[in-house]
Chain A
Amino acid sequence: MTLILESGYAFWNPIILIIAFAVVMVVVYFFRRRGQKKYKKDTAQTQIFLCGEEVPEAGQRHIRVGNIYWGFFETLKEYYSQVLRPHTGIINDYVLWFVAVTAISAIILLIAG
């Protein structure tokens, strides 16, 4: 069967998932259609409400890439300090890594392989 990918332990048929996705979309569309019909475009209804405060300009309220996942980087601070260390940007260091890894691999192959 050309539509079913068998991995030896299970199977995968993307068509089933696509049909399921289409059914969910129809259900979502059904609920959306039952929503408020008095919605008016380009009125106060579409403006951001921030507890009555002044809404910042678009550029100021956009969360930039540097502020996303701050907690993740803070938690893994030690890991990043270690993993960033070899990324010196100096080609001599890159070649040293090549020499070291080649030597280690050759030793492993000579002894164990």
Chain B
Amino acid sequence: MDTLITHSSILIIAIPLVTAFLIPLVGMASKKARNALVVVSLIFVAFLVFALARDISINGIHIYTLGATSPDLTIPTGFMVPVRIILEVDGMSILMGIIWSIVSLAAAIFSFSHIASETGQNRFYTLLLLMVTGGFGMMFTGDLFNLFVFLEIASISGAALIAFRTRSADTQEGGFKYIVVSAIASLMVLFAIGLLYAQYNSLNIGALAQVIQYTTPDKIALALLLIAFTMKAGMVPLHLWFPDAYSVAPASITGMLVITSHACMYAAFRVCFTLYGGMLDAPVVGWILIVFGLLSMFVGVTMAVFQKDVMRFMSYHAISQLGYMWVGVGVGLAVLGNPALLATYGRDAISGGIFHILNHAMYKPLLFFTGGALFYCTGTRDLTKMGGLAHKMKWTTILYIIGTLSISGIPPLNGFSSKILIYESVYQFHPILTITGIIVSILTLASFTKAFHSAFMGAELPEYKEVKEVPRSMIIAMVILAAGIIFITLFPALIVNWIINPAADALIKQGAYINAVTGATP
């Protein structure tokens, strides 16, 4: 078991990668064997992630140096800086890993029935597992260049999956927009990495953080990294591609794409807190995140109320909810240089923002899956054509209600737990942030009530007389996420103490991240 834990970080990335290339071979022999292989590999990966999380909670940051005689030998003999590829998993990375393992497993199970009528399913699962590889790589890498490589893997597989249903034009358009936006963002990330490498001769985040000077090229690199990652995360006003791409992908993939947005948000946090950390003019960067976060919250929700396409409606809500996270963590970043304010409300704001990532990762894919279930049964995403579906789709209706109450922050659901942490802490920074948050929550509830009435309420419509509840695998996938929501609802303090606060501390304590690689604090 100890050997497994020692190598767990690389296994978590390698297992889906190897399985991805086995899928076409196994898929040719048997469809059932292929599906079983996908689920077994993802369950094993989830087991490794939880085992690694336990290890990190006991022993601290996990380091894995590829190609070294010992995984913790970060700096080879005779070298001053780390030159090998290093995976560095701390409280924040493992939280993202836990989220990714749960959602990717649920998405794979949901896909079994959801795309059962499509051709090219072997390619679908290969791409899905490549996307899983890219996501884990982004979350676990301690190296900027590998962050770029894994971002590319996740983006290219994501674009292909968005355009998977080749029979309709909107999927091709969505896939095209996603790959163009991703390519531009990735190139800007690469350019920023080049600026940093040219000055400091290192690509390791910890080693760079130790020597970074915040020169003019560093500031330009920060702007490029920050805006590239925020665009990929769908922050207003760079969100315009987001509903175009997310609404046309198969629902299982949209659920996963939400987590890739979280991964880009994680990368932005890693850049601000860990790479630049103490050198940063934190109030300026914090306020940039707060302003964009507020815009995302308000524009996202008001655009969502306006939508008639159920998946576009959900996509705009995803943008709005991401705004809460930007605001929470942005406030924490703004007071990073002031220990008194950080202790008073800054850490709570960061914890609230991070807790909202976890909650959002449970209810948003669930809501996308219910949207996918509606599309599966009715053949349309148009809410104006729906109605009375609660008579036929009882499971989907109940699961939609759970997701709706959670996203709207209705007590006692988990969305409320993270929102109250954000509201109470950011109020100390500026009351307008909390007021905006509450207004956005009210609008969220109003718009989900509207969609609920349109799709589920009313008398049974004649055109949907033959509609049946979705297949069992789709319900199981939705129940997995609903179970996550209920668990967090019942034990918010347990979750915050066990995994959220350590994640917030991992961001705040830059020295621990640097020390784990270089063996010295700056």
Mark A residues whose CB is within 8 Å of B.
1-10, 12, 14-15, 17-18, 21, 57-59, 61-66, 68-69, 72-73, 76, 79-80, 83, 86-89, 91, 93-95, 97-98, 101-102, 105-106, 108-110, 112-113
Contact = CB atoms under 8 A, between A and B. Distances in A.
Contact of A98 (B231, B299, B387): B231
A10 B345 CA distance: 13
Contacts of B241: 91, 94
Contacts of B484: none
A102 B240 contact: no
B485 to A, nearest CB: 12
Contacts of B352: 7
B98 to A, nearest CB: 18
A5 B462 contact: no
B355 to A, nearest CB: 9
Contacts of B238: 94, 97-98, 101
A80 B305 CA distance: 11
Contacts of B425: 7-8
Contacts of A9: 424
B454 A65 contact: yes
Q: How large is the interface on B (under 10, 10 to 19, 20 to 34, 35 or more residues)?
A: 35 or more
- Provide the main secondary structure of the chain B interface: helix
Given A5-B421, A59-B461, A64-B383, 14 more contacts: A5-B493, A7-B352, A8-B348, A8-B424, A8-B425, A14-B417, A18-B490, A58-B458, A64-B454, A94-B177, A98-B181, A98-B185, A109-B220, A113-B285
12 contacts: A3-B493, A10-B420, A12-B420, A18-B412, A58-B458, A59-B387, A64-B387, A65-B454, A83-B299, A94-B181, A97-B238, A105-B227
Contacts, number: 163
Contacts of B446: 69
Given A7-B348, A97-B238, A69 B227 contact: no
B417 A5 contact: yes
A14 B284 contact: no
B216 interface: yes
A62 B461 contact: yes
B496 interface: yes
Contacts of A80: 302, 306
B490 A14 contact: yes
Contact of A102 (B180, B227, B490): B227
Contacts of B451: 65
A105 to B, nearest CB: 5
B219 A83 contact: no
B281 A101 contact: no
Nearest to A4: B493
A107 to B, nearest CB: 9
A88 B493 CA distance: 44
Given A65-B454, A91-B177, A105-B227, A72 B417 contact: no
